[in-house]
Structure 1
Amino acid sequence: MATQHSRTAARIMMTPAVFLLLVWMLVPLSMTLWFSFRRFLPLRGGDQGFVWFENYTRFISSSSFWPAVQTTLVIVGGVLLVSIVFGILLALLLDQPMWGQGVVRILVIAPFFVMPTVSALVWKNMFMDPTNGLFAHLWRAFGADPVVWLSDVPTFSIIMIVSWQWLPFATLILLTAIQSLDSEQLEAAEMDGAGPLARFGFITLPHLSRAITIVILIQTIFLLSIFAEIFVTTGGAFGTRTLTYLIYQRVLESQNVGLGSAGGVYAIILANIVALFLMRIVGKNLDR
């Protein structure tokens, strides 16, 4: 049992790390709040003083704001749906005994360690290119015209690219949960006449509820800031401009740091709302 002396020593040893973490978080946040109340145009006059809430009003009243929020939520929801559905299927498959099981698991998990920029470039040039891409050759083999993915179905294409990278993460979490399931429950249900679908629906799926909520929480936090895949593939065109990409355009392309900082505050608010909502779901599942 920890004594008062050991707890004090632990707090002292943790203090430098906690301090650095707070500085790492609070300094950028403070600068964002500071610039969001000012008109700061680096190449067009520099700092022109306080404008208070004008940047917030201009950003939220922009015709691009709500479509960007909608696109962000659609992409996040689509990636979560693909990750969970196919993650469960892959986890069930990888849980079965097979030859070379360890190698197969490594290959399935490998995409998660690929940089988002590299992943987007591979999909854009090797798979989705309408002239020399793999999908184009498959379409021609069946006598159909190739699909120009990034302009015909841009949002779906982004969801495919991002899902390919995040699917291994979901699969790993769900596979761990499946392996912790008591096999005696499944054997007893099988002896009682329950079929594969019944065993999955009434035993396996409820057992995965906690793992699913964890996957949703973690992936949502990261997916709300998706940027690299859009920057490399569509450049925000064809209705794929997310809130993060809109902020990038305001800060770097329009050279309006104050307006972009106001957008950053809105992004923080949106992320916290979604995180609080998901934490309530996670908390309910963990209390069961």
Structure 2
Amino acid sequence: MNAGKKLRAYLLLLPGLGLIVAFTSIVIGMAISQSFGYLNFSGESDFSTRFWQSVLGDAQLWRAFWYSARVSVISAVLAVALAYPLALWLRKPFPGSSLISAVLKAPLLVHGLVAAFLFINFISFQGFFNLALVKLGIIARPMRLQNDPYGFGVIFLQIWKQMPFALLILTGAVQAIGDDILNAARDLGAGALSRFRKIVMPLTLRSLQASLILIFIGAAGDFSFQVVAGPTSINSMAQFMLRSQESGTGWNIAAVVAVLLMLLSLFGAIILAALTQLVTRLGRA
């Protein structure tokens, strides 16, 4: 009887989950095939590793790869690090907590491209930030802050945009922790730090991992923030893929970059999840 119920439950998932798996498999399969010379839009299709050799030998590709990895990791870690204490603070309702929570989540309603343009206008050579510093006498003349070579602007935008998303996930996990568990630990002599390390962290681990992974993957493949606020001397993986697509053998080269971007997302997510698990275990020790 239970087996029949489980089978019916899985069958109900097929219309939605089946389509997602099917389309995802098709897209990934096409990217891998094109990276090896198949499914060409023009010319003959045959197996070849020359596209991989060309891309892997390009120093610009590796600069873009490590730049995207660095920006993604920093953005994900800082966004979650800011969201976690806020989620703990907002766990218990207090006067004004709903308003504070709504304001903190407001960036979710602003499109990323709009946010990037607003940020650029704010820090531009004649923007509000520079003019304020000049008026206050802090600097003598405006500074160039737009499109900084280290990607700080992109990291700031990613944190501003993604922190509310992490807060949304973590708030639900923190609020799901029962007061009876925390009260029992308190009665047994556990302090605030001990309760956090041995109860709160383990019980919110999955949400913490999900937040880190989703923000990391989104930042790794970001295009809008990079184009508007990113450095001009280096491309992200998404920018490099677009630039490759515009070359002579564009689709095949772009497919190689796409596969590398997927591998970056996959292994980056695995590493972040493993490190989070390790930190949680060390905290409980």
TM-score with structure 1 length normalisation? Answer: 0.80
The size of the alignment, in residue pairs, is: 272
Tell me, which stretches of 5 or more residues in structure 1 are unaligned?
Answer: none
Residue among 140, 161, 174 paired with 2:134: 140
Deviation at 1:128, TM superposition (A): 1.8
Q: Deviations over 1:120-150 (max 9, x none)?
A: 122122x222203x32233223321333222
Q: Would you say 1:202 and 2:194 are equivalent positions?
A: yes
Q: 1:39·1:257 contact (CA, 8 Å) conserved in 2?
A: no
Residue among 156, 159, 167 paired with 2:155: 159
Q: Which moved more, 1:103-112 or 1:134-143?
A: 134-143
Q: 1:35·1:257 contact (CA, 8 Å) conserved in 2?
A: yes
Q: Secondary structure at the match of 1:64?
A: helix
Residue among 205, 218, 224 paired with 1:228: 224
Alignment map for 1:171-186 (pairs within 5 Å): 171-179=167-175, 180=177, 182=179, 184=183
Structure 2: distance between partners of 1:34 and 1:267: 15
Residues 1:137 and 1:94: Cα distance change in structure 2 (over 3 Å): farther
Deviation at 1:169, TM superposition (A): 1.8
Deviation at 1:218, TM superposition (A): 2.5
Q: Secondary structure at the match of 2:59?
A: coil
Q: Would you say 1:67 and 2:43 are equivalent positions?
A: no
Tell me, which stretches of 5 or more residues in structure 2 are unaligned?
Answer: none
Structure 1: distance between partners of 2:185 and 2:21: 47
Residue among 94, 106, 111 paired with 2:107: 111
Residues 1:9 and 1:84: Cα distance change in structure 2 (over 3 Å): closer
Structure 2: distance between partners of 1:151 and 1:208: 37
Q: Secondary structure at the match of 2:43?
A: strand
| Aligned counterpart, 1:128 | 123
Q: Which moved more, 1:90-99 or 1:101-110?
A: 90-99
Q: 1:39·1:50 contact (CA, 8 Å) conserved in 2?
A: yes
Q: 1:38·1:47 contact (CA, 8 Å) conserved in 2?
A: no
| Aligned counterpart, 1:264 | 258
Residues 1:87 and 1:9: Cα distance change in structure 2 (over 3 Å): closer
Deviation at 1:175, TM superposition (A): 3.4
| Aligned counterpart, 2:268 | 274
Q: Secondary structure at the match of 1:220?
A: helix
| Aligned counterpart, 1:237 | 232
Structure 2: distance between partners of 1:41 and 1:6: 46
Alignment map for 1:87-102 (pairs within 5 Å): 87-95=83-91, 98-102=94-98
Structure 2: distance between partners of 1:137 and 1:49: 57
Q: 1:38·1:49 contact (CA, 8 Å) conserved in 2?
A: yes
Q: 2:105·2:164 contact (CA, 8 Å) conserved in 1?
A: yes
Among the aligned pairs, what percent are the same residue? 17
| Aligned counterpart, 2:16 | 17
Structure 1: distance between partners of 2:197 and 2:233: 37
Q: Which moved more, 1:27-36 or 1:89-98?
A: 89-98
TM-score with structure 2 length normalisation? Answer: 0.80
Aligned Cα root-mean-square deviation (Å): 3.1
Deviation at 1:280, TM superposition (A): 3.8
Deviation at 1:21, TM superposition (A): 1.8
The aligned amino acid for 2:201 is L
Q: Secondary structure at the match of 1:52?
A: coil
Which stretches of structure 1, 4 residues or longer, exceed 6 Å deviation after superposition? 39-42
Q: Secondary structure at the match of 1:47?
A: coil
Q: 1:41·1:255 contact (CA, 8 Å) conserved in 2?
A: no
Structure 2: distance between partners of 1:204 and 1:121: 39
Residues 1:94 and 1:217: Cα distance change in structure 2 (over 3 Å): same
Structure 2: distance between partners of 1:212 and 1:146: 40
Q: Would you say 1:76 and 2:75 are equivalent positions?
A: no
Structure 1: distance between partners of 2:38 and 2:173: 51
Residues 1:152 and 1:262: Cα distance change in structure 2 (over 3 Å): closer
